[in-house]
Amino acid sequence: MALIENLRSVFAPPHPVGRPFLLGAAAIMVGGLLVGLWLSLLGLALLLFCFYFFRDPERVVPARPGAVVAPADGRVVSVMPAVPPAELGLGPAPMTRVAIFLSVMDVHVNRVPFSGVVTRIAYRHGKFVNASLDKASDHNERNALALRLPDGRSMAVVQIAGLVARRIVCQVREGDSVTTGSRFGIIRFGSRTDLYLPAGAVPLVTVGQTMIGGETVIAELSAP
């Protein structure tokens, strides 16, 4: 059963954002027939990589009241207090930040950590340092979202570009109602996603742990 699930994840249909890259790679592969075998093989390699990178597998959201799910696949690189991005207007008080580093081999589709309403989306230009470093949260190009939870508390999730990533895609708008585990964007190619938990949320993960976006319970909300 585990093998079947792994195969389903590897061969999942690609996210729509990846279509231009897939078409480009296919064009190189076909055009290579007129130039040389080496170019066709290069196009094939690019096509297979794009299919793998842009894969968008279905995820099973845990039916657990108060469960906050991971907003991305990847490895937890830090769990610490930090002030959320100023552009979100959430105030200067530190919130517990869980930072997830995504390698080029991880699924890069971002998922909503908890149901709520998107109250603010703010994009900020920046640098492209290694996304596994703590300073990436402050210095790198990013797209930040603030969510208002049903109990009135706020949560933030930030898409951060990395050393290779050059494009952040956000598919929700301010005022949208979103549900736990639903897709809200994608980053390409190698990046970081930070989650800022509201007061009363208990982190359930540690540094080094591997996340599965939309499925891994990253924290639990207690009463406000």
Active site residues: 191
Q: CB neighbours of 2 closer than 8 A, spacing ≥ 6? A: none
Dihedral sign computed on CA atoms, order 104, 107, 113, 118: positive
Give me the residues paired with residue 81 across strands.
Answer: 96
The residue assigned the tokens 């990046």 is 191
- Which residue, 70, 99, 107, 132, is CA-closest to 189? 107
Measured in residues, the chain has a length of: 224
Q: Give start and end residues of each alpha helix (H) in 68-162.
A: 136-139
